[in-house]
């Protein structure tokens, strides 16, 4: 496996592969890889001739400095995991090269960023769009892989890519979970044993919402209220948001009619976790 630290070296490797007519899959990450990331890499390897994984903790998408500073890093293990799953290149850019002095450009998807994480993390998705746009232009992949855990992120990146006519196919991949149902996240590493147990209530509650919808409940009001109450009852756990939204427009609905999504952002201790489940 190759490793590049600069945009120039990365472009050189990519253009060599392009000149050989090889297809390129891309998995952008912030490192501290877990099985969720590994599932993206495996999928990319199965669908492309060469696979690039980037590891970059993007300061532009953190609304809370505390969250950025505490974001876990494990470069050695990341390298091993990427190589083990068949990645061909790991690109580890420096923040100074990604955001040089005088950097002034932003990419933003409007409307889709109003609810969920967009409502409580100002500027977050602008930061995500801008870095993903840059990475797409550097790597020029045929396909790029994102997890469905960050459903809003996936939707926003798909929209950005289509709206801007970027020649990249954005592929969404299923959430990977621990045995108890907790969605894998690099942030889980910051949970104590007790918190990890408490965090199970998130997916448990979302599954209950799904079950009640399958049983015929259509009215969002009571569904949502009871779900929030249930989660907030667990000591040390606090709902940041829990919404039932239209799967396409990402807008709140009052009645569940077409394809909908229940999505939650929940603080477990100081760690903010997200999860979602498709309804109907």
Which active-site residues does the annotation give?
37
Residue 54 contacts a copy of itself per CB under 8 A: no
- Under the criterion CB under 8 A, does residue 164 sit at the interface with a copy of itself? yes
* Residue 160 or 263 with smaller CB distance to a copy of itself: 160
Could you tell me the smallest distance in angstroms from the CB atom of residue 117 to a copy of itself? 16
The position carrying tokens 């667990």 is 234
Does residue 120 belong to the site contacting a copy of itself (CB under 8 A)? no
Q: State the angle between helix axes of 220-232 and 200-214 in degrees (0 to 180), rounded to the nearest 10.
A: 160
Quick one: 166 or 234, whose CB is closer to a copy of itself?
166
Regarding 66 and contact with a copy of itself (CB under 8 A), the answer is: no
Which one among 27, 40, 117, 166 touches a copy of itself, defined by CB under 8 A?
A: 166
Span of 38-46, 129-137, 174-182, 201-209 interacting with a copy of itself by CB under 8 A: 129-137
Where b means 16+ CB within 10 Å and e means fewer, 101-112 reads eeeeeebebeeb
| Contact region with a copy of itself (CB under 8 A), list: 73-81, 131-139, 185-193, 257-265 | 131-139
Residue owning tokens 């599954």 = 207
Three-state SS string over 137-180 comes to: HHHCCCEEEEECCCHHHHHHHHHHHHHCCCCCEEEEECCCECCC
- C-alpha–C-alpha distance, residues 43 and 65, integer Å: 33
Please name every residue paired with 244 in a beta bridge, in sequence order, or none if there are none: 262
Min CB(107)–a copy of itself separation in Å:
5
Nearest approach in angstroms of CB 100 to a copy of itself is 8
Residue 163 binds to a copy of itself (criterion: CB under 8 A): yes
Q: Which of 37, 121, 134, 272 binds a copy of itself (CB under 8 A)?
A: 134
Q: Does 137 bind a copy of itself (CB under 8 A)?
A: yes
* Cα Dmax for the chain: 58
Contact 126, 56 (CB under 8 A): no
Buried b (16+ CB within 10 A) or exposed e, 128-159: bbbbbbbbbebbbbbbbbbbbbbbbbbbbbbb
Say if residues 139 and 26 touch (Cβ distance below 8 Å): yes
245 binds a copy of itself (CB under 8 A): no
* Residue closest to 98 by CA, chosen among 51, 145, 144, 61: 61
Residues 69, 165, 216, 235: which binds a copy of itself (CB under 8 A)? 165
Q: Which of 29, 48, 133, 205 binds a copy of itself (CB under 8 A)?
A: 133
- Look up residue 137 and give its two tokens: 């232009």
Sites for a copy of itself among residues 92-111 (CB under 8 A):
102-111
Nearer to a copy of itself, 69 or 105 (CB): 105
Residues that bind a copy of itself (CB under 8 A): 7, 11, 102-112, 129-130, 133-134, 137-138, 140, 159-160, 163-167
């Amino acid at each position: 496996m190759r490793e590049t630290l600069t945009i120039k070296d990365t472009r050189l490797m990519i253009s060599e592969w392009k000149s050989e007519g090889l297809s390129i899959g891309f998995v952008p990450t912030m490192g501290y890889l877990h099985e969720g990331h590994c599932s993206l890499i495996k999928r990319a390897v199965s669908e492309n001739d060469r696979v690039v994984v980037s590891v970059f903790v993007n300061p532009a998408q953190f609304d809370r400095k505390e969250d950025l500073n505490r974001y876990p890093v494990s470069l050695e293990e990341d390298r091993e995991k990427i190589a083990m799953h068949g990645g061909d290149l790991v690109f580890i850019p420096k923040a100074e090269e990604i955001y040089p002095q005088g950097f002034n450009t932003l990419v933003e998807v409007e409307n889709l960023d109003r609810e969920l994480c967009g409502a409580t993390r100002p500027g977050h998705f602008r930061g995500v769009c801008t870095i993903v746009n840059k990475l797409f232009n550097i790597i020029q992949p045929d396909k790029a892989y994102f997890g469905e855990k960050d459903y809003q992120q996936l939707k926003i990146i798909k929209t950005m890519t289509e709206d801007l006519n970027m020649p990249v196919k954005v592929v969404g991949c299923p959430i990977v979970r621990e045995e108890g149902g907790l969605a894998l996240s690099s942030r889980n590493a910051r949970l104590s044993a007790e918190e990890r147990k408490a965090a199970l209530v998130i997916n448990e509650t979302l599954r209950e919402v799904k079950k009640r919808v399958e049983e015929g409940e259509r009215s969002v009001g009571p569904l949502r209220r009871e779900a929030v109450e249930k989660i907030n009852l667990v000591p040390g756990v606090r709902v940041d948001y829990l919404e039932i939204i239209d799967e396409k427009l990402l807008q709140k609905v009052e009645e569940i009619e077409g394809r909908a999504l229940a999505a939650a952002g929940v603080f477990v201790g100081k760690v903010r976790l997200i999860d979602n489940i498709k309804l109907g």
